[in-house]
Amino acid sequence: MPASSPAYTLSTPQPGTLQINLDGDWTLKSPVPTLDEFQQALGSDTARITVNGAGLGAWDSRLLIFLQQLAQTAREQDLPFEEESLPTGALRLVRLASQTETTQRRSQTEKGSLLYRVGVKAMAVQDSATSMATFTGELVLEGLRLFTGKSPFRMRDFLYFVQTCGVESLPIVTLIAVLVGVILSFVGAVQLQMFGAEIYIANLVGLGMVLEMGALMSGIIIAGRIGAAYAAQLGTMQTNEEIDALRTMGISPIGFLVLPRLFALALMMPLLCVYADVMGILGGAFIGYTVLDLSLDEFLNQAIKSVTLYHCFQGVAKSAVFGILIGFAGCLRGMECGRSAMAVGEATTSAVVTSIVFIVISDSILTIIFNVL
């Protein structure tokens, strides 16, 4: 049976109603009639537009395109557009396309509104603050359960994370700490050589590493290495519904998954900080010996004289705080991760960014506190 050409006729079943009656096969193989006749029929007395598909034959996306053009024209004229007697599949697709366009228009309108963007950001900040407060409360409660022996905390997991955070992080910490010591020595050498005071480079490197750079660089390295790993691990478990399974079995994910990671990082960060301080001073001593003609004994003795126990306490205290904050940020972003691969990537990125922000803010606050004391 040969296919009939697509066509439409116009009628007025009721006053103010313009009806489009579709006939023939509306397929991509057939030319589609223009909308000229329809547009000319629109008048001031037209109150609504309807479509009648009772005479339709075969159809494909060509029909949907034509209906979308009709709907667009109706929106431009601010007229209601109704579909009647269309095939069920075509009707669903048309309504789906209409909803998508409405959402896109609303999204474009809202993106252009300053008040809307401010409101969205404010709500996001509120949700983030609520999530952090809830997670902090759960950590505190689970910590209390740990002291009563009711937490699912496992020592084997804790020791594994101690190895991951500590021993396996030594190579990258060594490299960065030595290079930071070298950089501090070169920076000081440029100025101090002008006054013949090369020996005081030991003071610069010693105090710089012990007070700030040892803890700060170790924290940033661990944030990128361990904090991101925590977020990825917990985010993947969230995606695979393993955390939901733990809750179903009555096992607290905070005690079973979060506390071992958090305690391991809080324990190992001060040790990594002390190790980074030593490596940084040795890196500065190497530059002093090879470039500034300072003996190793002179450099180390001058560094020891400039650094006091109180200075060491400041750096170690900062690193302990950094470790807690890095573990908190990594576990938080992992626990609130979505259930897709993209969500895991976003959680990992957010964990690193949040950790670094926490490190910088806490470092500023602790520096002010120690200077006041």
Question: For the stretch 334-347, what's the b/e string if a residue is b when 16 or more beta carbons lie within 10 angstroms of its beta carbon?
Answer: bbbbeeeeeebebb
Delineate the domains of the chain, giving CATH numbers in brackets: 7-111 (3.30.750.24), 152-372 (no CATH)
Mean predicted confidence (pLDDT) in 92-110: 60
Give the pLDDT confidence score for residue 158 in this predicted structure. Answer: 93
Placement of tokens 């120690």 in the chain: 370
Give the pLDDT confidence score for residue 235 in this predicted structure. Answer: 92
pLDDT, averaged across the chain: 85
- For residue 152, what is the DSSP state? -
pLDDT at 105 over 60: no
pLDDT at 43 over 90: no
pLDDT at 357 over 90: yes
Tell which wins on pLDDT, 99 or 263. Answer: 263
**Rounded-to-integer distance, Cα 58 and Cα 176, Å:** 70
Name the strands in the sheet holding 17-26, side by side, starting at the edge strand that comes first in the sequence.
7-11, 17-26, 48-59, 81-84
Mean predicted confidence (pLDDT) in 20-31: 78
* Token output for 2: 């040969």
The share of the chain scoring above pLDDT 90, in percent, equals 41
Tell which wins on pLDDT, 215 or 107. Answer: 215
The share of the chain scoring above pLDDT 70, in percent, equals 94
CA torsion angle for 19, 20, 22, 28 (degrees, to 10)?
Answer: -150
Give the pLDDT confidence score for residue 1 in this predicted structure. Answer: 43
Mean predicted confidence (pLDDT) in 76-99: 72
Tens of pLDDT along 281-332? 999 998 888 888 888 888 888 888 888 889 899 999 999 999 999 999 999 9
Answer whether 304's CB lies under 8 Å from 277's CB. no
pLDDT at 77 over 50: yes
Q: How confident is the model at residue 38 (pLDDT cuts 50, 70, 90)?
A: confident
pLDDT at 189 over 90: no
Q: How confident is the model at residue 98 (pLDDT cuts 50, 70, 90)?
A: low
On whether the pTM is more than 0.85, the answer is no
Tens of pLDDT along 114-159? 788 888 889 988 988 998 999 999 999 998 998 888 889 899 999 9
Residues whose CB is less than 8 angstroms from the CB of residue 302 and which lie 6 or more positions away in sequence, other chains included: 199, 200, 202, 203, 206
* Token output for 341: 């691969």
Question: What are the φ and ψ backbone dihedral angles of 53, each rounded to 5 degrees?
Answer: -105, 25
Residues whose CB is less than 8 angstroms from the CB of residue 24 and which lie 6 or more positions away in sequence, other chains included: 3, 4, 5, 6, 7, 30, 55, 56, 57
**Rounded-to-integer distance, Cα 303 and Cα 206, Å:** 5
**Rounded-to-integer distance, Cα 66 and Cα 82, Å:** 14
Mean predicted confidence (pLDDT) in 217-235: 93
Residues whose CB is less than 8 angstroms from the CB of residue 157 and which lie 6 or more positions away in sequence, other chains included: 256, 260
